[in-house]
Structure 1
């Protein structure tokens, strides 16, 4: 699994510590070279760069993109660039549901197809983990990456229709 991680902040550091133990290659990208530690795990390649968009373009097909930078404008630019590709395995971005809604509107206004925007996972990480500490977020993101690797991420992230209360018993009994 090829992971392209944009962001060397607290969550990025916690995530790299976990990804060090998984069978993956991590391309760790940030515009601030001073944010990278002196030593990194063998499967992690720090990449300080002034052109993170070029990293998106050069990533191999089937890459997993994680966006968690210090800058919303950069997050948006990366999201647009990633979503214009049609060959990534996973794209997750740290942020709130409000951030997602704002980005969705802007991306669609810029010509990104709604079905492509639907491939963006934001908020990132498996559901149910509400702790906002960087290590907890990193665990949730790693779990979601493992699901993506197994082909489950897109299927389980799709919204499901609510079951009307008057039909719930019928569904259990197989009457429909």
Structure 2
């Protein structure tokens, strides 16, 4: 779906929401082409904003951009479109487009439960470049007062959300219902692909849940993979704000640990590649 929102407004909104997106820029045009150099549009998974002139050229740019979004990495790519052949247009010119893919939020956090700790935690996390999802069965508690930074979802059974989470997400179980906590925990462990999984509660509760998981044939590695009681033990206190600070600190520790485990990758387009792709065309 193409939207009339200007590309710069769409880019700002994607950044604010932590969504992955692509900025497509016409670097050069030769001969007859639908738009001049410098024309831009923004593409994300469901919509596109502004235009590069429409037609098959734009259709192919959007398709290529969504391939980059699905790949999940930040990168830059040059694509050359001969309009009379590849794009199925009779303009007779050619266009070189720079596609810049922004992966969106550094990570996704899916927070189950809308109690006091969750409500204290979200304002701490909302300034970070994270995509925050808040799930509960009580719609009246899911108000987002953080400028659209939190994606609220009201479900009669929050366990339904587990199957829709992406691989590598962070998950926090902060509900008021021990039975729901266990069902969420079992579903998340069964997925086996959370980068971090934490559950609020006492050591006694955590031990009881681990024994129950063992009785239901969960592997020892799965049983030991979640954090409970959640939060850094060095940060003491039982008030919601104190617990929230402790949890936020643990999330940052885990996020930095994962970042250090991933080798750095170059995401830029070097000058040699740019020059060869443009084939001597002046910018």
TM-score range, shorter chain: 0.7 to 0.9
Corresponding residue for residue 59 of structure 1: 165
Mapped to 2, the partners of 1:80 and 1:131 lie a distance apart of 28
Corresponding residue for residue 227 of structure 2: 121
Find the residue that maps to 1:83 and give its secondary structure: helix
Q: RMSD in angstroms over aligned alpha carbons? A: 1.2
Q: Which has the higher strand share?
A: 2
Mapped to 1, the partners of 2:176 and 2:138 lie a distance apart of 10
Q: Which has the higher helix share?
A: 1
Give 1:73's match in structure 2, choosing from 173, 179, 187: 179
Matched, 1:146 2:146: no
Aligned residues: 152
Higher relative contact order (CA 8 A, sep 6+): 1
The structure having more radius of gyration, on CA atoms, is 2
The CA deviation at 1:38 is: 5.5
Mapped to 2, the partners of 1:125 and 1:36 lie a distance apart of 23
| 1:49-108 deviation per Cα after TM superposition (whole angstroms, max 9, x unaligned) | 113112111101110000010100000000000111121100000001000000001111
Give 1:89's match in structure 2, choosing from 183, 195, 200: 195
Matched, 1:45 2:146: no
Which ranges of structure 1 fall in alignment gaps of 5 or more residues? 153-176
Corresponding residue for residue 139 of structure 2: 33
Matched, 1:103 2:209: yes
Seen in structure 2, the aligned counterparts of structure 1 residues 146 and 50 have a Cα distance that, compared at 3 Å, is: same
| 1:4-36 deviation per Cα after TM superposition (whole angstroms, max 9, x unaligned) | 000111100011111111110111001111212
Corresponding residue for residue 158 of structure 1: none
Find the residue that maps to 1:138 and give its secondary structure: helix
